[in-house]
Amino acid sequence: MNVLTLTARELGRLLRGRLTWLVLALTALSPAAGLTVLRFTASETMLSRCVADPALAAGVLGGLLFALLTLWDSARASKSRVEVLTDAAVSPLTAALARLAALLVTAALALVLTTLAWLPWTAYTVGAVFDGLDYLLAYGILMGLALPLCILLAGAAWQFTRRFDLSLVLVAVLAALSLTVWRGEWQLCWLNPCVWALSDDFSNFRVLRSAAYMRLTWLLGLAGVWALSWLCIRRYGKGPLGSLARSARRVYRPLLALALLLCCGWSYAAQPFIDRSNPDLTVMSFFEIPYLEGVTFVSRTAQVFPDTKAGTVSGRASFRFENTSGQEQKVAFGVNPGYTVSDVRANGVDVPFTVSAYQEYNEALLEVTIPADGEVELTMAYRGYPQESIPTMQGGKELSAEYLCLENSALSPRLMNVLPGEDGYPAAIEITLPEAMTVIPFGSSEAEIIAEHDNGTRTWRYEDNGTGGILYAGDYVREDMEAGGIHIQFYYGRKHQAVMEAVGAADAVQAVVDYCTQHYGPLSFGAGESLKLIQSRVAGGGYAADGASLLDEAGFTIANLADGAKGAAAGEVFIHELVHQWWGLGNMFDTADPSSPWSAEGLTVYTTYRIAKELYGEDYAVENYVDQWRAAVDDYYLNFYVRCPEYLDALPEAERLAISNALSGMRQYSEMPLKILKAQELVGGEEAMDEILKGLFTRELDPMYPYLTYQEFLDACGLTEEDLSLD
């Protein structure tokens, strides 16, 4: 019997069934659930909203539909007694194989139909940042691989139990576990992979690789379980165990099932993506390692060679020390847990070293014994797949020809226990990357190209001072400008170029920096004369230090730039996001209390209004900001749930949250700016308010609680909460 021929007939039979087409149609529609009720990602990037969520929803719903189809088709053959005929013609094992193959082909058809059906809408909605490869990979991995998993699971459940109801319960239990208890366990949430965000402007290989790895691990496992259940297919009138004993007589069959299960176990244990850092973040033992007596740092160099296709890094690091102790010393480094260290030599001689199994804060401890020589040059090689620490926010260590971020020990081993020399920790880093990538050291350092190679790569070099360091590189557009008395380097992803140009990003940067520096003061993290503004891959927020500030791409998505609460036009929303460099990053705010209007948004919206007023005139600013806030606040005070909050508590949680969030957003984006405007009137006008805000911005920070509070604002204005009441 030719299984392929039989599969073709099974497929033909399956495709003649109405239920099959119903399943195909519902699967093709299921991405719509990801746009509404079944959202999985936590980010607002366009690809998260329009690709990842729909694909994940299609994976969950389509998978469950195919599980149902599998069970229904299997149960029907048995219940309607067609099996009696087929079993007399061919071995039930062969028939089961053909049925599985036919279902898998049908699932592939569902994937193709769904992908094609949603392509036009997605491409149109995502707009300039749409990427066909991301789209195909996301649908293939997040949706497509869910379908065979569900088919295998349902098929195995049926073959073990021969009961539709019991099999359905088994599938439902495993699906429910994935959607609830295992939701945060990236290797266990087999139905809904831990994808918290997809980047619009840079690549997504890391997070998609991780999802694919998890899915392949489960595929191995469920294929093994299915193979085991396949051996239990009832034959010769025997029960599951009797049939197993009979079918397992061909030894390769149980061996194959066992091999699949073992491969699954190995794949689970040997995952390369996430480290095993101590989950207790209060433990910081690596920071408590005492400095060595008599050993001081002289310099370090590193040559780093990222493999942008494989997502791996190899490199060589060299450290020079002065050892005046006259003894051997054990130097400690932090290395990324995904790296293997080798070829460790001191002054050209191999020296002993160990890498700890214990990991903390995304580092393992590398300890190297250096000789008693007065001057020691320590060299080492490292290579591997950089691991991350937070399984539910993967993607930070993206490494591709479009983008990479290497932080501290992922860039080169980070020295832990040697005191700095007279020059601190001078370092020279060389990194070789595809020529389309621009290297951006995070900080005031400048990278320069020192070599161009025939294979289309370039070697960049920059100098730094520190034991670690952060490096960004990617397919960036760089715009230079003078603003606020400093030189600004503004970097953004080339995929976002059309959007950035449409909103007049460079002019906006200039306007904001000029305005805010003049009115509130320079940014504390500016390096005196220069500031890098770097658009980063979606990271859950930005950060700033030492002459550089990171702008999370999520703030500049097409959807966000159309958010009327933040600005009257896309360019003004862009201004709003830049103003957060002052209110939000330069001056931090504690996590917003949902019931309070006070957050970084109030001052940011107010400042955006002031900039718009300066750029476009008072009439424009009043019409597009103040009038809008008033209208929103009037609506807010008339809102039924604001007037009768007890009814809000009676609503289901999901609805309550949706309404609460909407009300909270209104308080922060409309009510607070109006209160600040009222405060401005009460304190004597714009200039007086600018002085107050400047004072707050440049105030002495309490390192234990560096956040700007509402009370501080009120105190600075000499007002009370009641004074700012809008009733």
Partner 1 sequence: MQISLQELTMTYPSGKRALQGVNLELDSPSLVGLLGPNGAGKSTLMKLLVAGLLPTGGAVRVDGEPLLRRERALKARLGYLPQDFGLYDELTVTEFLDYMAALKGLQDSRAAIQSAIEEVHLEEKARAKIRTLSGGQRQRVGIAQALLGEPELLIFDEPTVGLDPEERIHFRNLFSRLAQRRLVLLSTHIIEDVQSVCSRLLVLHRGKLRFDGPPEELIRAAEGHVGTFDETGGEREEGLHITARVNTARGVACRAVAEALPPYVQPAEPTLEDAYLYLISGEGEA
Site for partner 1 contains 654 (CB under 8 A): no
The helix (run of H) or strand (run of E) holding residue 88 is helix 82-89
Out of 162, 183, 238, 656, the residue judged to bind partner 1 by CB under 8 A: 238
For residue 125, the number of C-alpha atoms closer than 13 Å in the C-beta half-sphere is 16
Considering beta carbons, is residue 82 or 450 the nearer one to partner 1? 82
Six-digit token string for 337: 């847990």
Backbone angles phi, psi at 197, to 5 degrees: -165, 150
Q: In whole angstroms, what is the distance from residue 719 CA to residue 715 CA?
A: 6
Site for partner 1 contains 643 (CB under 8 A): no
Considering beta carbons, is residue 81 or 643 the nearer one to partner 1? 81
DSSP letter at 94 equals H
Out of 18, 251, 619, 649, the residue judged to bind partner 1 by CB under 8 A: 18
Site for partner 1 contains 87 (CB under 8 A): yes
Minimum CB–partner distance for residue 69 and partner 1 (Å): 13
Site for partner 1 contains 594 (CB under 8 A): no
Site for partner 1 contains 68 (CB under 8 A): no
Out of 22, 84, 449, 701, the residue judged to bind partner 1 by CB under 8 A: 84
379 burial via Cβ count (<10 Å: 0-12, 13-18, 19+): middle
β pairing state of 295-307 and 426-434: parallel
Q: In whole angstroms, what is the distance from residue 217 CA to residue 38 CA?
A: 25
Minimum CB–partner distance for residue 72 and partner 1 (Å): 12
Site for partner 1 contains 251 (CB under 8 A): no
Largest CA distance in the chain: 95
Site for partner 1 contains 89 (CB under 8 A): yes
Minimum CB–partner distance for residue 3 and partner 1 (Å): 10
Site for partner 1 contains 9 (CB under 8 A): yes
Site for partner 1 contains 85 (CB under 8 A): yes
Considering beta carbons, is residue 253 or 320 the nearer one to partner 1? 253
Sole window of 6-14, 519-527, 623-631, 641-649 interacting with partner 1 (rule: CB under 8 A): 6-14
> Residue 187's CB: how many other CB atoms inside 10 A?
20
Out of 37, 81, 638, 654, the residue judged to bind partner 1 by CB under 8 A: 81
**Number of residues binding to partner 1, judged by CB under 8 A:** 31
The helix (run of H) or strand (run of E) holding residue 367 is strand 363-370
Distance of CA 472 to CAs 407, 452, 531, Å?
Answer: 9, 19, 15
The helix (run of H) or strand (run of E) holding residue 451 is strand 448-452
Considering beta carbons, is residue 74 or 668 the nearer one to partner 1? 74
Amino acid code (one letter) for 375: E
Inter-residue contact 212 to 142 (CB < 8 Å): no
Site for partner 1 contains 241 (CB under 8 A): no
Inter-residue contact 572 to 607 (CB < 8 Å): no
Six-digit token string for 166: 């019991």
Considering beta carbons, is residue 237 or 279 the nearer one to partner 1? 237
Minimum CB–partner distance for residue 496 and partner 1 (Å): 51
Sole window of 24-32, 113-121, 235-243, 576-584 interacting with partner 1 (rule: CB under 8 A): 235-243
Minimum CB–partner distance for residue 237 and partner 1 (Å): 4
Beta-strand (E) ranges in 540-677? 544-545, 548-552
Site for partner 1 contains 6 (CB under 8 A): yes
Amino acid code (one letter) for 695: G
Site for partner 1 contains 236 (CB under 8 A): yes
Site for partner 1 contains 16 (CB under 8 A): yes
Sole window of 76-84, 260-268, 358-366, 510-518 interacting with partner 1 (rule: CB under 8 A): 76-84
β pairing state of 295-307 and 312-323: antiparallel
Contacts with partner 1 by CB under 8 A lie at 1-2, 5-6, 8-10, 12-13, 16-18, 79-91, 95, 236-239, 246
